């Protein structure tokens, strides 16, 4: 099919030989505007920061394994949890979804590249430099005593703690500026995905024949445009407060710290959906293929995704039940938050219905997706508990909340990302990831995850607040915290196995071929890895599963789809 070659250097060239070639190869990665190479860059970048932020989490868990520990100083602990949160959300989560989206959206809709290849490169490098800028603060952002000083004001950075009076060094500036820079990068990537999905689809690919992953990337990108904007605005206001004598958040001059909270959570809550929606997209690709059935209720899935996006912009103040809103305000946000449960419930039911009556093959991608279903169910239920405003007055800012959002961001988001790696790695590199290492990875991570985050719910109900670097020995939290830390270590081992699998399989993995999973979307019609510009001829599709139609000419989808 795609036997043409184009004189463009570095189509994932595996064997550079000689110094000049290596330089050329590197150069081709730096100047590339190819959506696949940029996608890979995004993903590698996210993986590096996953290890960094994971290491920060491990250091915190060592500190908290026993009461009154002195492994980390309070200053360093505060920097670590601030950086862990910021890194995981902006440098791992955002980059990995846009990386996977970049790689897959054009392939899935039969396009030869993104709509704006240069904007694509620009967006990636903005995000990349924003992240490096943030981490430079560890050595460059002087605080007290002229030492290197990373941001230490939590990742939600409530005013007025961020005011110059309370955070005199430059660390908060690094935080604010790097988020502005990364924000622009993200906006560029989102606009690009929207433009690509709306204007680059191949012949026959109507909006309602787009793979669900593409739909979810569209919804996520739209939501990104809505959410990153107030975040960037808030950061600009913060910088004005700190350097130009503004008083937006300065309580002593009549400013309102609550305004920061509103701005931050108008960004912050939809942000969770920005991350989780592409994960839904991945599950919606993986679950049908490994159940050997078409997705159940495609139109309902699309509608539910758009519904989630809409409702998610009305729920932000459920992060603020304790700031003293009126009872009517609290009631409104309790209701809007509970309503998120309806479209997400529809999604869970549709996934289960897809598996129902299928022949489920539990290869590693499907294992991760099945665990995702279970954990996302739990995360949804604890989410409902937190939406019950009076109960939230107890649970807010406790370890219960940490458990809840790690159930969504680790148990759901990260599990789907792992599924995506096992599923699409053969497409990207041409070789399969080791199933044996994959199973080890899955089971260790699964056990470690539950040990850590199940336990956190309980320690939260026993009154342990978040963001504390130590705790008293008489509080009854000792045993639980010890097991939480043990679970963390098990997860760390699993992630190392995963990293080793990625590296080892690149060279020694089984050859994948075009379509190792017997799948149905367009990317599997190209060679693995796909050549530059993907398709030699523009594909033409007649249904949501073009490869199913080819494989089953007597029983094609387009006869039945509505």
Partner 1 sequence: MQRRRGLPPIQPQVLIPSLLCTHALRSVAEGAMTTPSILKPVSTPANEIFHLSLFVLLISGAIFVVVAGLLAFVIIRFHERRGDAEHEPAQIYGSAQVELAWTVIPVLIVVVLFLTTARVIFAIQDAPEPKSALDVTVIGHQFWWEFRYPGLGIVTANELHVPVSTQQRPEPTYLRLLSADVDHSFWVPQLGGKTDLIPNHPNEMWIDPLKTGLYRGQCAQFCGVEHALMLIRVYVDTPQQFDEWVKNQQQPGVQDSAVAVGRHIFETEACMNCHTIEGTSAHGTFGPDLTHLMSRATIAAGAATNTPDNLRAWIQNPNTFKPGALMPAMQLSDQETDEVVAYLTTLH
Q: Scanning residues 139 to 198, which ones bind partner 1 (CB under 8 A)?
A: 152-154, 158-161, 166
Contact 180, 235 (CB under 8 A): yes
Measured CA to CA, the distance from residue 334 to residue 388 in angstroms comes to 6
Residue identified by tokens 């607040």 is 465
233 neighbors 226 (Cβ within 8 angstroms): no
69 binds partner 1 (CB under 8 A): no
Stretch that binds partner 1, among 39-47, 48-56, 442-450, 550-558 (CB under 8 A): 550-558
Quick one: 109 or 320, whose CB is closer to partner 1?
320
Contact (CB, 8 A) for 484 and 459 = yes
Binds partner 1 by CB under 8 A, chosen from 51, 58, 339, 489: 339
Place of tokens 């902006």: 90
Site for partner 1 (CB under 8 A): which residue of 214, 223, 389, 432? 389
Q: Which of 22, 225, 356, 513 binds partner 1 (CB under 8 A)?
A: 356
Residue with smaller CB distance to partner 1, 385 or 493 = 385
| Interacting residue with partner 1 among 22, 26, 74, 139 (CB under 8 A) | 74
* Residue 140 CB contacts under 8 Å (≥ 6 apart), including other chains: 148, 170, 174
Between 109 and 346, name the residue whose CB sits nearer to partner 1. 346
Nearest distance, CB of residue 158 and partner 1, angstroms: 5
Query: Which residues in the 275-334 window bind partner 1 by CB under 8 A?
Result: 291-294, 296-300, 322-324, 326-327, 330-331, 334
Distance CA 538, CA 531 (A): 14
Whole-number minimum distance, CB 189 to partner 1, in Å?
31
Nearer to partner 1, 194 or 340 (CB): 340
> Near partner 1 by CB under 8 A, which window of 73-81, 84-92, 114-122, 434-442?
73-81
Among 48, 236, 397, 439, contact with partner 1 (rule: CB under 8 A): 397
71 lines the binding site for partner 1 (CB under 8 A): no
Among residues 30, 139, 207, 352, the one that binds partner 1 under rule CB under 8 A: 352
And the tokens for 82?
Answer: 């601030």
- Name the strand (E) or helix (H) holding 104: helix 94-108
Sign of CA dihedral 231, 413, 310, 200: positive
Give the residue, chosen from 472, 510, 538, 540, that forms a contact with partner 1 under the rule CB under 8 A. Answer: 472
Q: Find, among 267, 269, 350, the residue nearest to 308 by Cα.
A: 269
The residue among 15 and 68 lying less far from partner 1, judged by its C-beta, is 68
Could you say which of 231, 283, 346, 419 contacts partner 1 (CB under 8 A)? 346
Q: What character string, x for contact with partner 1 (CB under 8 A) and - otherwise, covers 429-468? A: -----------------------------x--xxx-xxxx
Site for partner 1 in 5-64 (CB under 8 A): none
What are the C-alpha distances in Å from 62 to residues 28, 48, 468? 42, 21, 13
Q: Which residues of 123-140 are buried (b: 16+ CB within 10 A; e: fewer)?
A: bbebbbebbebbbebeee
Count Cα neighbours of 401 within 13 Å in the Cβ-side half-sphere.
19
Shortest reach from residue 359's CB to partner 1, in Å? 5
> Between the CA of residue 196 and those of 191, 306, 374, what are the distances in Å?
9, 18, 33
335 scored as a contact of partner 1 (CB under 8 A) = yes
Q: For 453-482, give the DSSP string.
A: HHHHHHHHHTT-BSS-S---GGGS-HHHHH
- The total number of residues shown for the chain amounts to 562
Q: Which of residues 253-272 bind partner 1 (CB under 8 A)?
A: 254-258
Nearer to partner 1, 139 or 352 (CB): 352
User: How many amino acids of this chain bind partner 1 (CB under 8 A)?
Assistant: 100
Q: What values do phi and psi take at 65, rounded to 5?
A: -60, -35
Instruction: By CB under 8 A, name the one of 405, 423, 477, 524 that touches partner 1.
Output: 477
């Amino acid at each position: 099919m795609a036997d043409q070659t184009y004189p463009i250097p570095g189509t994932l060239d595996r064997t550079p030989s000689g110094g000049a070639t290596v330089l050329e190869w590197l150069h081709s990665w730096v100047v590339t505007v190819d959506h696949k190479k940029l996608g890979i860059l995004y993903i590698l970048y996210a993986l590096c920061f996953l290890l960094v932020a994971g290491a920060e989490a491990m250091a915190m868990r060592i500190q908290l394994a026993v009461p009154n520990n002195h492994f980390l100083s309070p200053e360093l602990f505060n920097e670590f949890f601030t950086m862990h949160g910021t890194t995981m959300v902006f440098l791992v989560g955002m980059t990995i979804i846009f990386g996977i989206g970049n790689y897959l959206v054009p392939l899935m809709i039969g396009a030869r590249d993104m709509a704006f290849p240069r904007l694509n490169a620009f967006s990636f490098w903005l995000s990349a430099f924003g992240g490096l800028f943030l981490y430079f603060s560890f050595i460059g952002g002087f605080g007290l005593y002229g030492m290197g000083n990373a941001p230490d004001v939590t990742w939600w950075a409530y005013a007025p703690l961020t005011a110059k009076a309370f955070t005199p060094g430059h660390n908060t500036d690094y935080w604010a500026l790097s988020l502005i820079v990364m924000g622009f990068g993200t906006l560029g990537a989102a606009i690009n995905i929207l433009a690509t999905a709306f204007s680059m689809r191949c012949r026959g690919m109507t909006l309602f024949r787009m793979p669900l992953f593409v739909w979810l990337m569209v919804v996520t990108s739209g939501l990104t445009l809505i959410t990153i904007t107030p975040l960037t605005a808030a950061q600009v206001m913060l910088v004005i407060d700190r350097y130009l004598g503004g008083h937006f958040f300065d309580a002593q001059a009549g400013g309102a710290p609550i305004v920061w909270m509103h701005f931050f959570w108008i960004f912050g809550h939809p942000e969770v959906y920005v991350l989780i929606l592409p994960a839904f997209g991945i599950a919606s690709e993986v679950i049908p293929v490994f159940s050997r059935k078409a997705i159940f209720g495609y139109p309902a899935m699309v509608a539910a995704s758009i519904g989630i996006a809409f409702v998610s912009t009305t729920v932000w103040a459920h992060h603020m039940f304790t700031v003293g809103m009126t009872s009517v305000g609290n009631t409104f946000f309790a209701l809007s938050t509970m309503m998120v449960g309806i479209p997400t419930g529809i999604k869970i039911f549709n996934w289960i219905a897809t598996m129902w009556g299928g022949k489920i093959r539990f290869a590693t991608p499907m294992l991760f997706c099945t665990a995702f279903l279970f954990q996302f169910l739990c995360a949804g239920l604890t989410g409902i508990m937190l939406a019950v405003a009076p109960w939230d007055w107890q649970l807010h800012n406790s370890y219960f909340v940490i458990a809840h959002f790690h159930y969504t961001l680790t148990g759901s988001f990260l599990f789907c990302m792992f599924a995506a790696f096992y599923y699409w790695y053969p497409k990207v590199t041409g070789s399969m990831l080791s199933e044996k290492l994959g199973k080890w990875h899955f089971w260790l991570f699964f056990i470690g995850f539950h040990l850590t985050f199940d336990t956190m719910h309980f320690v939260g109900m026993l009154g342990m607040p978040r963001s504390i670097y130590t705790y008293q020995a008489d509080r009854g939290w000792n045993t639980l915290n010890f097991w939480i830390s043990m679970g963390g270590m098990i997860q760390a081992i699993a992630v190392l196995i995963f990293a080793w699998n990625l590296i080892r399989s690149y060279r020694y993995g089984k050859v994948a071929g075009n379509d190792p999973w017997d799948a149905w979307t367009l990317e599997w019609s190209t060679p693995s890895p796909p050549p530059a510009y993907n398709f030699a001829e523009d594909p033409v599709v007649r249904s949501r599963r073009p490869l199913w139609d080819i494989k089953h000419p007597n029983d094609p989808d387009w006869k039945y789809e509505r």
